[in-house]
Amino acid sequence: MALENKLNITDSAELARVEEKNSKQKALELFEKKLLDTIEVGTFSGLKKIHSYLFNDIYYFAGNMRTVNIAKGNFRFAPVIYLEAALKNIDNMPQSTFDEIIEKYVEMNVAHPFREGNGRSTRIWLDCILKKELHQVIDWSKVDKEDYLLAMERSPIKDVEIKVLLKSALTDKIDDRQVYMKGIDASYHYEGYNTYSIEKINEEN
Ligand SMILES: Nc1ncnc2c1ncn2[C@@H]1O[C@H](COP(=O)(O)OP(=O)(O)OP(=O)(O)O)[C@@H](O)[C@H]1O
Ligand SMILES: [Mg+2]
């Protein structure tokens, strides 16, 4: 079964296809209309706006914190009861050096505030921080997807691999449409539809 969505799509392959296409179009709009320049950099409030913009056509929860605990592989993302506190801490993390920025990115990934679409929205969020603070961004075409995923899986324990990988892909081409769009490929997962295991908690909303 597909995740509940505004389009009433029930087939998960179809949802994956439609969602990827629509969110890519939205990501392009964010870039073309220069909306990213108006979004607060390095805070959850800014990330909410990015997520909301990308997924508002598809999911009711666009821009809203998840209400279920989720895990991928062996890793459990931040439990819902600690999520708000974790996000406040992340807002206050420094972001003036490359290492600090990646450490902040890793923490935001551990928080995984949304039910779906964390990867794409948080990569845009990361690029916004790098752009503002270092006048550089990641050239995602230089980041091998499997290496990226392995490094992200490892990152909650040790962040050296993701730091090395992303540092080698830094570019000064901060306003290049293609460089930007490469990070929005919804295929930063091994294969098939990238699903979470869910632990239902009190469903309040
Ligand atoms: N086992 C894991 N441990 C930690 N982080 C992970 C793990 N698996 C995936 N990730 C991170 O989560 C992201 C995927 O999150 P999610 O599926 O919510 O977002 P998405 O935008 O749909 O996916 P994608 O990043 O694959 O385009 C990956 O890009 C990676 O950064
Ligand atoms: Mg996903």
Domain ranges of the chain: 12-187
| CB of 72 sitting under 6 A from ligand 1 | yes
pLDDT exceeds 50 at position 193: no
CB atoms within 10 A of CB 176: 14
C-alpha torsion 58→53→33→174, nearest 10: -110
- Give residue 104's pLDDT: 98
Which has more pLDDT, 111 or 198? 111
- Assessment of whether the complete model's pTM goes beyond 0.85: yes
Q: Determine the average pLDDT of the residues in 22-47.
A: 96
The label of the residue with tokens 């000064």 reads 172
Pairing of strands 197-199, 69-72: antiparallel
Interior angle at CA 150, CA 129 and CA 106, nearest 5: 30
Q: How far apart are CA 125 and CA 197, in angstroms?
A: 25
| CB of 150 sitting under 6 A from ligand 1 | no
- Give residue 200's pLDDT: 57
Lowest pLDDT segment from 65-69, 102-106, 143-147, 189-193: 189-193
The label of the residue with tokens 């923490």 reads 107
Report the top-level CATH class of 12-187: mainly alpha
Using 50, 70 and 90 to split pLDDT, how confident is the model at 21?
very high
Which has more pLDDT, 73 or 104? 104
Using 50, 70 and 90 to split pLDDT, how confident is the model at 192?
very low
How far apart, in Å, are the Cα atoms of 161 and each of 42, 108, 122, 147? 22, 17, 18, 9
Cβ contact 3:115 at 8 Å: yes
pLDDT exceeds 80 at position 194: no
| CB of 186 sitting under 6 A from ligand 1 | yes
Counting atoms of ligand 1 from 1, which one is nearest the CA of 185? 27
- CA torsion through residues 15, 152, 89, 47, sign: negative
| CB of 140 sitting under 6 A from ligand 1 | no
pLDDT exceeds 50 at position 53: yes
pLDDT exceeds 90 at position 185: no
pLDDT exceeds 80 at position 183: yes
Q: Determine the average pLDDT of the residues in 186-202.
A: 58
Ligand nearest 126 Cα, by number? 1
